[in-house]
Amino acid sequence: MTYLIWRLHRVHAIAAAVVIVAVAALIVPTGIAIANSYHHAVMNCSVSHVGCGGIAFTVFGNNSVFTSLVQDLAMAVPLVFGILWGAPLVAGEFEAGTEDFAWTQGVTRRRWVLTNLGWALLAAAAWGGALAALFTWWRGPDNAVDGPVKFIYFDVQGVAPIAYTVFAVALGIAAGALFRRVVPAIATTLVAFAAVRIVTALYFRPLFAVTKNVSALAGPPPLSYSLGQDVLGGSNTAACKTLRCVAAHGAYNHISYLPASRFWPVQGVESGIFLVLALALAIFTYWLITTREA
Amino acid sequence: MSSELVKQTITFQLNQTSGIPAYLQIVQQVEQALRMGTLRPGDQLPTVKQVVAEVTINPNTVTKAYRELEHAGLVEGRQGVGTFVVRRPHGPPPEEQTRLARGLERWVETARVAGLDSQAMEAMLRSILRSASDRGVA
Amino acid sequence: MSSEALAIETAGLSKRYGAAWGLQDCSIDVPEGRISALVGPNGAGKTTLLRLLMGLRRPTSGEARVLGRAPAQDEDFLASAGFLAQEIPLYRRFSAAGHLRIGAHLNRRWDAAAAEQRLTALRVPLDRPVHSLSGGQRAQVALSLALAKRPRILLLDEPLAALDPLARREFLTSLADVTVEGDVTVVLSSHLVHDLERVCNHLILLTASRVRLCADIDDVLGGHRMLVGPRRSTAELERLFTVVKVTQTERQSRVLARLDGPVLDPAWEVSEVGLEDIILAYMSEDQAVAAGPLSLAGGTA
């Protein structure tokens, strides 16, 4: 059965490998350049105390369009895997009627679905992991300057992308098993994946936020992800035109932020959630294939 | 025109619309070949596989036909080798057959002149054969 | 016949899809070694029956025994039963040789050499992608794949449907050839009868999801007769025999009946009937019943 999966999908696997190599070829040179530039700037700053304030601009300013583009593409990777690998895996066979081939050639449904799921999710984890490692390395300097927890920064590095990719592929496969047609499977994967990602980013991550009141002149600590700031309180602040004035009148800044130190805990829990969802989808797929009938 | 040289002693033809069961057609064709001398004692009948390949017929039908012939004492099956002709069927020798055939030809001519067509002649012959067999004659 | 081992035995086998019955109360016997024709109009339940026998579907009620056991999706059963679905499920971009390699990995027992020999003898190219082969060649590839695991039973769903006459003849010859050697039981479905008669020696007739006939073809032919006579009531006949179809004109009555004894009334002229006519009579009887109260069993003198 593994041999069949290899024969059916080796083109996909090789294409994905080529894509990873291409991505690496694209970002490794710039990554190295950025890292060098960053180390230079840090050296200058610590040795000759020059340009310490403008490191971020010096290093990243010229590349900002490029880096944003790369990171936006990186965000899309899990969904792309889900749509190109997950959705057609099972649905494609049902559409072509070829599941009958395996099922009458000595492969039980159980073995068929488990082998398909196993290899697909393993490949998703491997490919997602390779890309995540690549982007985590690439983001090194920017993490030092801007922190890893901001939206998008968080989503493309660490272990979360692995969990997103595994989830997306599991979602694609489940949708494919449910609808038995590739197009509805793709559509469902797209919508459901986006929905779950948005909900977790909007409602789950803030659960780990730190909320406190600080001086009206202060803001969230460096390298953190600001989730909201509100200057409140104080008396007779209407006439004030500067923050200093408002602060003098007793106002404070009510801030909510995700500290850089919580990067790994949040990554861990969010990844756990996505992996649990992926497992649930895999179980659902198994049940669909072995119990529901043609 | 296409022509085939087949490595068999005789070939068979199946007429699906004749109403005669397939195995009986094979029996009759073997018997006819024996009468006409096309098949001689010692000759091997085509194997089941050969007949199936040629006529697209159920192998059991061939087996059944050959068994009938064996019962009638015309052929014998040798395990692992094939089915071989043992003797000619009882009945008139070819010359006698030819004489009878000529007589039949003359009757057909007479009947045609009288106004019967082939189908009417066939029907008449069939009905006479039937009543003759009922009477135990044919 | 009851002393023969049965390749297929079903009792009250039924399958419902939602509100509609695909197969109702099907009880059939197929002795080993037969080449059985599963015949019936489209939608009669042939595919449903074949898929139930292969274990690709589970029955709503009743049971089936194939090669002495209930069909199931387990490796033992799959190793002994071959199936050819109507759509000929092959991977379009793989060649016949590619499929054989895959099959070797999927099956316990696999005779690729014989399959290759077969296909080569039929002049089917082994190394071209399957989508570039003709319908007849694809059917032969699929048959070879089903045979390569040396199954003891072969279930084929409308294998002749998309084939031209020559390809049909070659396919049937192949099937007959397969049964020469081994102890294989074959069931193939078709909504056309004519070709099957040469090669099949057993018949299962389905109409409207029910079994109407299940017997050796010789017995079917021996057991049905056409009765023709001057127009009269068929009530007496119906009392004695199973009447399948009655056609009445002003002057004449024509009755197709299943006879299990002699017809003593001399006014009836009794003659044999061809298989196709018998089957059509059963199929049209069904339609007449469906059409309403003016059924054929009511003749008036």
Is the CB of C171 inside 8 Å of chain A's CB atoms? no
CA-based nearest distance A184→chain C, Å: 22
**Confidence bin at B4 (pLDDT 50/70/90):** low
Q: Do C56 and A110 touch (CB under 8 A)?
A: no
- Domain end marker among B50, B67, B85: B85
CATH of the domain at B27: 1.10.10.10
| pLDDT single digits (tens) A165-174 | 999 999 999 9
Q: From the list C169, C180, C218, which residue is nearest B59 (CB)?
A: C180
Residue B78 shares a structural domain with residue B102: no
Minimal CA separation from C280 to chain B, in Å:
16
Counting the structural domains of chain B, the total is 2
Q: CB within 8 A of B101, min separation 6: which ones?
A: none
Examine the domain organization and report whether B109 and B78 are in the same domain.
Answer: no
Pick the closest to residue C30 from C137, C155, C178, C208 (CA basis): C155
Among A109, A93, A97, which Cα is nearest to C56's? A109
Angle among Cα A37, A40, A42 to the nearest 5 degrees reads: 110
pLDDT average, residue stretch C61-82:
90
- On whether both B33 and B75 belong to a single domain, the answer is yes
- Answer yes or no: is the ipTM higher than 0.85: no
Residues B73 and B55 in one domain: yes
- CA–chain centroid gap for A5, Å, is 27
B abuts A (3+ Cβ pairs < 8 Å): no
Pairing outcome for strands C252-258 and C224-230? antiparallel
C94, C130 in Cβ contact below 8 A? yes
Whether residue A205 contacts residue A270, with contact meaning beta carbons closer than 8 Å, is answered with yes
Q: Does B58 touch chain C (CB under 8 A)?
A: yes
Segment A213-234, tens digit of pLDDT: 888 778 888 888 888 888 877 7
Its domain, for residue B76, covers 22-85
Residue C211 structure tokens: 């079994």
The answer, yes or no, to whether residue A208 has pLDDT greater than 60, is: yes
B50 touches chain C (CB under 8 A): no
Are residues B31 and B67 part of one domain? yes
B29 and B80 in a common domain:
yes
pLDDT at B39: 85
Query: Is the predicted pLDDT of residue A159 greater than 90, yes or no?
Result: yes
A-chain CB neighbours of C102 within 8 Å are: 3-4, 7, 105
Answer yes or no: do B74 and B100 share one domain. no
Residues B41 and B77 in one domain: yes
The answer to whether C35 and C175 are in contact (CB under 8 A) is yes
Cβ contact (<8 Å) for B56 and C198? yes
Instruction: Answer yes or no: is B54 within a domain.
Output: yes
Q: How far is CA C230 from CA A95, A187, C253, C273, C281, in A?
A: 58, 69, 6, 19, 20
Q: Which helix (H) or strand (E) holds A57?
A: helix A55-60
Instruction: State the average pLDDT over residues A25-37.
Output: 85
- If asked whether residues B81 and B113 sit together in one domain, one would say no
pTM of the model: 0.80
Residue C2 has pLDDT above 60, yes or no: no
Instruction: Of B106-110, C63-67, C173-177, C237-241, give the lowest mean pLDDT range.
Output: C237-241
C200 touches A: beta carbon within 8 Å: no
Task: For chain C, list the domains and their CATH numbers.
Answer: 6-208 (3.40.50.300), 220-291 (3.30.70)
Looking at residue A125, its pLDDT comes to 94
Q: Assign C14 a pLDDT band (cuts: 50, 70, 90).
A: very high
B106 belongs to a structural domain: yes
Residue B90 to chain C, least CA–CA distance (Å)? 29
